[in-house]
Amino acid sequence: MSTTRSLRLGVLLTVAALGAVGLSACTGADEASGDAVTITLAGPNQWSSDPSSFGPEWEELIAAFEEAEPNIQVETVVLPLAEFATTLSTQLSAGTAPELIFNQAPHTPDQVVALDGYLEQPNPYVEGNEQWVDVFKPDYFGPTATNARNAAGNYEFIPFNLFISGLYFNADAFAEAGVDEPPATFGEFIEACGDLKDAGYVPLALDNSYGAQNSVYAPIRSQLQDRYFDEWNVFAPDGTPGTSAQIGAKGFAHAVLTGALDATSTPEIAETMRLMKTVFDECGTPNWSGVTSTGAFTGGEDLVGGEAAMAFGSNFAASNLADVDWEYGTMPFPTITKDDSPLSTDREAQSGANVGGTSYMIPATTEAEQLDAAVKFLQFVSAPERVQPWLDGTGGIPALADATPAPGLEGLMTGSWFEAPRVPARALIPKALAGQAVYTGYLTGSKSLEDQLAELQSSWVENSFELAEDGGWTEDWATR
């Protein structure tokens, strides 16, 4: 846990960029210069609510690239958070997507450029580099990284940074409520919520977004299901038979489609839902289901405004607390012990940094000069000395081996929380439901646990078959 008062970082992906912005693929060279080419980068604003710019750090990064490559111009399009995935997915299907797009848009592997061949060649912006892929931290991006490739086994995106989230807390509120230390166990966490309520605070700011729900769901489920690591660990990171340090997409799909993991009968899933509902009921914003995600933290502005004592946020979020007049800190989600649940594995809560931060890919319709220019931009931001100022200004944790994290992230980067769980809580949500708050019915009491689990199982099966189709898996278990 760490505390601080101000920090020059950026905003979590839960920031809702305002206004709708249309975009179309860039199609040609700059007529004034003849040889110049323009490419467009489109995605959500992860750092501020500005609907027209990703921020000065981005502008400086692009200016540096354009200085190094004077015949290439990079334009940016900021898409609203609530719409970027649908917008980019639709454009990928229509063949109208711009040259660089945020990688969290639902898509199939054939809709984007496979970068394997490029990653095997030198990065021209890194002196002495023989293979581009070697500039990255291998645990996160490379041959041994479980989440670096798509279902077809290809590299399709380049990570500009790593992402990790955790709990931000108002240390002054904790002191007022008599909470002397950040709670380490689930039971202590629920008890602290009661003390914070008695002191007049909303214990945990929550909203109706999938992000808020998953912030609670994921660390609980990953702790409880750790016991299945050996049973489900049957594929190497590239999808061939073998083992991995972390269960990947194919391992989870195999577990679901063979019945080894079933939301209706695997007891840890029901227990995850029960503990999750306890957090929402005992700690969450009373009317969370009516609160729209609008800020850097879950629950909108309640933490920043001093009404809530805790909220979930990422390493991008801390700059939003630069002007508060109270001390704040960061902490991991609590560990579930045997006293909290008979299904506890006694494994400490883990999140782990991952490549789900700022990552971009190239649509398959990008060709010729635009393709070359888009690859060059991705190579440029993979050069440590080129991207370091951007990392420092945006609260970045580098995906690169020779870059350093932005200052002030110690509270999210120490202990077990910074370690990736061996059995992560992969959502397994079908493309049609991507981004939707799929647990709302049970959490609000409008749906029984049995119905919620049955609905989850149906979604898991559908997504597993989607992964199998995308990956071209031919095994019997992967066939409908």
What's the rounded Cα separation, in Å, for the pair 134 and 153? 18
| Signed CA dihedral, 310, 313, 314, 320: sign only | negative
b/e map 307-334, b = 16+ CB within 10 Å = bbbbbbbbbbbbbbbeebeebbbbbbbb
Q: What is the separation of C-alpha 322 from the centre of its chain, rounded to a whole number of angstroms?
A: 23
CB 310 within 8 A of CB 169: yes
What's the rounded Cα separation, in Å, for the pair 468 and 152? 9
CATH topology agreement for domains 9-163+357-412 and 165-353+421-478: yes
* Three-class DSSP category at 426: coil
User: Which CA distances in Å does 319 have to 4, 9, 48, 198, 323?
Assistant: 11, 5, 10, 29, 8
Q: What pLDDT band is residue 308 in, cutting at 50, 70 and 90?
A: very high
Q: What is the pLDDT averaged over residues 386-402?
A: 91
Q: What is the pLDDT averaged over residues 318-340?
A: 90
- The 10s digit of each residue's pLDDT in 358-369 is 999 999 999 999
Q: Fold for 9-163+357-412, please state it.
A: D-Maltodextrin-Binding Protein; domain 2 (3.40.190)
* pTM summary value: 0.76
Q: Fold for 165-353+421-478, please state it.
A: D-Maltodextrin-Binding Protein; domain 2 (3.40.190)
Tokens of 448: 């029984």
Q: Where are the domains of the chain?
A: 9-163+357-412, 165-353+421-478
* Least reliable range by pLDDT among 117-131, 363-377, 402-416, 430-444: 402-416
User: Which CA distances in Å does 235 have to 143, 150, 238, 239, 468?
Assistant: 13, 14, 8, 5, 14
Tokens of 57: 């750090």
- The 10s digit of each residue's pLDDT in 449-478 is 999 999 999 999 999 999 999 999 999 999
- The 10s digit of each residue's pLDDT in 48-100 is 767 888 989 999 999 999 999 999 999 999 998 778 989 999 999 999 999 99
CB 412 within 8 A of CB 422: no
- The 10s digit of each residue's pLDDT in 31-40 is 444 579 999 9
CB 351 within 8 A of CB 165: yes
Contacts of 92 (CB under 8 A, 6+ apart): 101, 105, 107, 111, 112, 363
CB 424 within 8 A of CB 411: no
Residue 133 pLDDT exceeds 70: yes
Residue 412 has what pLDDT? 76
> What is the per-residue DSSP string for 219-252?
HHHHHHGGGGHHHH--B-TTSSBS--SS--HHHH
In this structure, are strands 2-4 and 328-331 parallel, antiparallel, or unpaired?
antiparallel
CB 125 within 8 A of CB 383: yes
CB 321 within 8 A of CB 7: yes
* Least reliable range by pLDDT among 69-73, 175-179, 408-412: 408-412
Q: What is the separation of C-alpha 171 from the centre of its chain, rounded to a whole number of angstroms?
A: 26
Tokens of 53: 């710019």
